[in-house]
């Protein structure tokens, strides 16, 4: 027994001595198993010798086993590692310290050589390979999951993170790989796989929608909303069929919201929705208008009996933003409980009222102040809906130099009930890019032309840093209507800088946010009214903003009578009212302050360098209490020329 042990130890020392003397021969002679009848073994048995190979300082030499032993790794640790594996590990790491550290982890059992080599074979760098091989040994990731993700070109960091999630049970690897195969980025795929595991998203539906060409954002919303609402079945056919009907992404997003918001897919819902999508796709098209040929066909009351004009169209427009940010509330209020319940589709022709006056009470749903009861009875506000025409688009640009004739659509009225309104309306933004002239051979004040936007209305260009030159001190823009009444409105803030507006009759500007005329420095705009009406009385200017009217540099001309301004806060500087103007300034509190343009008082009328008939106004020209303040400057009829009231 003693002799046997001695012989065994001698054999080990012989092999070790040979390793120290012939590293190159050993390296290339060993088989992958680390033993056998290779050249190294033959050299031992024959007693052959070779010169030793020198190792460069700090690097693994040609025989990494020798290097490890020289560095103090035990023979027991060194001999259990396959030579080819050590070569791979050494090649991947390159430093003596790292190789020794790796061998120690293998010896301690915290790292499996096969796992490490598998990752190195997948071109993973040594540090990440070591880290993830240790995780696999520790059981925090499944190496097969990690390799699956690497094979799908997922980075090692993302592959490791998601393999850990899979092991922890927060994602299903099958869901994750299905999303990756559908072209979803790893971050989005991981996020949605987590939702699927939590039961709030249907991966199968999501992949089906993606395969049909639906973008990820919409597909995710569809798959997630349905699951969140408790439904386990998603009508992917309906989503894909409507996607095929429009290339307008914003409209399709609105469509998905309508479908997802349905409490029940009632009989005929798909038919009504698809017809409405086709119609909305036509209505919600970006338009550039230079002349009459660019105008779309007008939508009229008679149109509402045609295909597509159902409550589903209103649902689409509301989600699209074409009725403002409170579109759903407005539609619910106007169309009633059956519409709000979402249990059936109706043709719009059966729901509309006869006159504009029927809808005045609904202004509050848009965020505007409603008319008083006595105003609602005014015949001026009572126009038959059959006499209103809407020429619509999504984003509309009226080009510089545009010339549009409104004579046909706004022809002379045969009676009071025949008065007409024509609207050029954008469901998103409308831009008047420069000078524009709207003509009308009818100069009787029996009609109105309205230019409006459900979002922003701009003069020259969008109000943005990139277009700052358009708002610094640009050449004037003139917008003219030779017919009678002109209205310009927007849902959001409107800004006019050096803009001249001219109307044959009355002029009205309104916004549900803020109205700015001029900026903080000096500018000059002019509003002219009564320039085209035939044998009419003097005409009026109406300015309304829900939150703020701020004016710096404004003159009035033409046959002007009344000037009406209303907003929570009115802030005027360098405004010149002519002597003929009967001015009403209505703010929230009906209070009055002077020389406070740079720091206006909220809820008040603030006047700085404002004149009437050439007289610059100051506190000595006014008397009364908040909510009922009158000027001592009077009109020829003896009434106060300027009145300040509360809302």
Residues 6+ apart with CB under 8 A from 487: 448, 449, 450, 451, 452, 507, 508, 509, 510
pLDDT value for 16? 43
Give one word for 638, left, alpha or beta, with left for phi > 0 and alpha for psi -120 to 50: left
- Which stretches in the chain have pLDDT values below 70? 1-97, 99-100, 107, 225-233, 262-264, 357-380, 533-537
214 & 322 share domain:
no
For residue 605, give the 3-state DSSP assignment.
strand
**How far is Cα 256 from Cα 242, in angstroms, rounded to an integer?**
9
Other beta carbons within 10 Å of 491:
27
Report yes or no on 110 lying in a domain: no
397 & 340 share domain:
no
CA dihedral sign of residues 68, 73, 76, 81: negative
pLDDT value for 579? 96
Question: CA–CA distance from 48 to each of 8, 18, 31, 41, 635 (Å)?
Answer: 20, 9, 19, 10, 127
433 & 345 share domain:
no
DSSP state of 50: -
Please name the residue ranges forming H helices in 81-172: 83-93, 96-108, 113-121, 126-138, 143-150, 156-168
Go through 522-534 and write b for each residue having 16 or more CB atoms within 10 A of its CB, e for each that does not: ebbbbbbbbbbbe
User: Could you tell me the end-to-end alpha-carbon distance of the chain, in angstroms, rounded to an integer?
Assistant: 113
Q: 314: closest CA among 283, 358, 355?
A: 283
Question: Looking at 323, 344, 375, which one is the last position of a domain?
Answer: 375
Question: CA–CA distance from 92 to each of 55, 62, 139 (Å)?
Answer: 18, 14, 24
Report yes or no on 66 lying in a domain: no
224 & 241 share domain:
no
266 & 363 share domain:
yes
pTM above 0.75, yes or no: no
Q: Count of residues for the chain?
A: 647
Report yes or no on 193 lying in a domain: yes
556 & 412 share domain:
yes
622-625 and 628-631 as β-strands: parallel, antiparallel, unpaired?
antiparallel
Report yes or no on 20 lying in a domain: no
312 & 398 share domain:
no
**How far is Cα 235 from Cα 220, in angstroms, rounded to an integer?**
14
Q: If you search the block for the tokens 């979002």, which residue do you land on?
A: 455
Partners of residue 645 on adjacent β-strands: 586, 628
- Which DSSP string corresponds to 378-412? -GGG--BGGGEEEEEESSEEE-TTEEEE-TTTTPP
265 & 337 share domain:
yes
Domain that holds residue 219: 170-231
642-646 and 628-631 as β-strands: parallel, antiparallel, unpaired?
antiparallel
pLDDT value for 373? 53
**How far is Cα 31 from Cα 35, in angstroms, rounded to an integer?**
6
Cβ–Cβ under 8 Å, residues 102 and 108: no
E strands along 444-492, which residues? Answer: 447-453, 457-459, 477-481, 485-490
Go through 172-211 and write b for each residue having 16 or more CB atoms within 10 A of its CB, e for each that does not: bbebbbbbbebebebeebbbbbbbbbeebbbbebbbbbbe
For residue 448, give the 3-state DSSP assignment.
strand
**How far is Cα 433 from Cα 426, in angstroms, rounded to an integer?**
15
Residue 38 CA, chain-centre distance (Å), reads 69
**How far is Cα 495 from Cα 38, in angstroms, rounded to an integer?**
89
DSSP state of 492: S
Report yes or no on 537 lying in a domain: yes
287-289 and 396-398 as β-strands: parallel, antiparallel, unpaired?
parallel
Report yes or no on 267 lying in a domain: yes
Report yes or no on 139 lying in a domain: no
pLDDT value for 338? 85
Question: Looking at 375, 404, 438, which one is the last position of a domain?
Answer: 375
CA angle centred on 166, ends 163 and 170, rounded to 5°: 130
Q: 353: closest CA among 383, 320, 377?
A: 383
Mean pLDDT of the chain: 84
Q: If you search the block for the tokens 């051979």, which residue do you land on?
A: 441
198 & 293 share domain:
no
360 & 384 share domain:
no
CA angle centred on 546, ends 487 and 437, rounded to 5°: 20
291 & 217 share domain:
no
Cβ–Cβ under 8 Å, residues 563 and 581: yes
CA torsion 225-395-297-342 (nearest 10°) is 20
Residue 526 CA, chain-centre distance (Å), reads 36
Rg (CA), the chain: 40
| The total number of structural domains that make up the chain | 3
581 & 453 share domain:
yes
Question: Looking at 350, 375, 400, which one is the last position of a domain?
Answer: 375
Cβ–Cβ under 8 Å, residues 247 and 277: no
DSSP state of 264: S
Q: Each residue of 279-304: pLDDT tens digit? A: 999 999 999 999 999 999 999 989 99
Report yes or no on 207 lying in a domain: yes
């Amino acid at each position: 027994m003693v002799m046997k042990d001695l012989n065994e130890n001698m054999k080990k020392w012989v092999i070790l001595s040979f390793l120290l003397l012939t590293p190159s021969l050993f390296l290339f002679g060993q088989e992958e198993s680390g033993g056998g009848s290779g050249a190294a073994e033959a050299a031992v048995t024959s007693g052959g010798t070779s010169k030793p190979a020198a190792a460069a300082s700090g690097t693994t030499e040609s025989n990494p086993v020798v290097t490890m032993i020289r560095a103090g790794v035990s023979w027991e640790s060194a001999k259990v590692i396959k030579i080819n594996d050590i070569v791979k590990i050494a090649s991947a790491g390159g430093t003596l310290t790292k190789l020794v550290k790796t061998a120690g982890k293998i010896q301690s059992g915290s790292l499996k050589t096969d796992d490490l080599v598998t990752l190195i074979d997948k071109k993973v760098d040594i540090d990440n390979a070591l880290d993830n091989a240790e995780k696999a040994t520790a059981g925090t990731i499944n190496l097969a999951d990690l390799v699956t993700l690497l094979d799908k070109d997922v980075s090692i960091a993302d592959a490791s993170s998601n393999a850990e999630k899979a092991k922890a049970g927060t994602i299903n690897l099958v869901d994750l790989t299905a999303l990756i195969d559908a072209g979803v980025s790893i971050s989005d795929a991981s996020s949605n796989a987590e939702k699927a595991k939590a039961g709030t998203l249907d991966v199968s539906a999501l992949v089906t929608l993606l395969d049909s060409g639906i973008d990820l954002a919409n597909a995710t919303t569809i798959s997630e909303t349905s699951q969140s609402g408790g439904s386990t079945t998603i009508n992917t056919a309906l989503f894909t069929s409507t996607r095929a009907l429009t290339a307008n992404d914003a409209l399709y997003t609105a469509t998905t919201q309508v479908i997802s918001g349905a409490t029940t897919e009632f009989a005929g819902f798909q038919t009504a929705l698809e017809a409405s999508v086709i119609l909305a796709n036509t209505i919600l098209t970006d338009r550039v208008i230079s002349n009459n040929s660019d105008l779309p066909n007008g939508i009229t009351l008679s149109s509402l009996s045609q295909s597509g004009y159902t409550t589903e169209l209103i649902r689409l427009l509301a989600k699209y933003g074409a009725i403002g940010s409170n579109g759903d509330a407005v539609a619910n209020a106007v169309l009633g409980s059956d519409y709000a319940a979402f249990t059936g589709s109706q043709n719009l022709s059966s729901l509309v009222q006869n006159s504009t006056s029927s809808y005045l009470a609904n202004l509050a749903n848009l965020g505007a102040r409603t008319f008083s009861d006595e105003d609602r009875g005014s015949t001026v506000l009572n126009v038959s809906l059959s006499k209103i025409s809407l020429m619509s688009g999504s984003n509309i640009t009226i080009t510089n130099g545009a010339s549009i004739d409104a004579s046909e659509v706004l022809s002379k009225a045969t009676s009071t009930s025949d008065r007409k309104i024509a609207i050029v309306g954008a469901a998103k933004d409308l831009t008047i890019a420069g000078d524009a002239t709207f003509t009308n051979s009818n100069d009787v004040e029996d009609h109105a032309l309205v230019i409006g936007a459900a979002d922003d209305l701009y003069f020259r260009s969008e109000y943005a840093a990139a277009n700052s030159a358009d708002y610094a001190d640009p050449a004037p823009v003139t917008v003219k209507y030779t017919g009678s009444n002109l209205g310009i409105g927007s849902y959001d803030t409107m800004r006019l800088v050096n803009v001249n507006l001219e109307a044959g009759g009355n002029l009205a500007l309104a916004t549900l946010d803020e109205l700015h005329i001029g900026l903080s420095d000096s500018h000059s705009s002019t509003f002219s009214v009564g320039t085209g009406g035939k044998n009419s009385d003097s005409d009026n200017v109406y300015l309304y903003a829900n939150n703020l009217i701020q004016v710096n540099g404004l003159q009035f001309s033409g046959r002007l009578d009344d000037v009406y301004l209303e907003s929570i806060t009115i802030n005027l500087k360098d405004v010149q009212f002519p002597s003929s103007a009967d001015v009403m300034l209505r703010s929230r509190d009906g209070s009055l302050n002077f020389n406070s343009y740079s720091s206006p008082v909220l809820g008040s009328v603030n006047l700085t360098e404002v004149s009437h008939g050439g007289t610059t106004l100051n506190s000595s020209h006014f008397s009364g209490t908040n909510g009922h303040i009158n000027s001592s400057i009077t009109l020829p009829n003896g009434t106060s020329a300027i009145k300040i009231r509360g809302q």
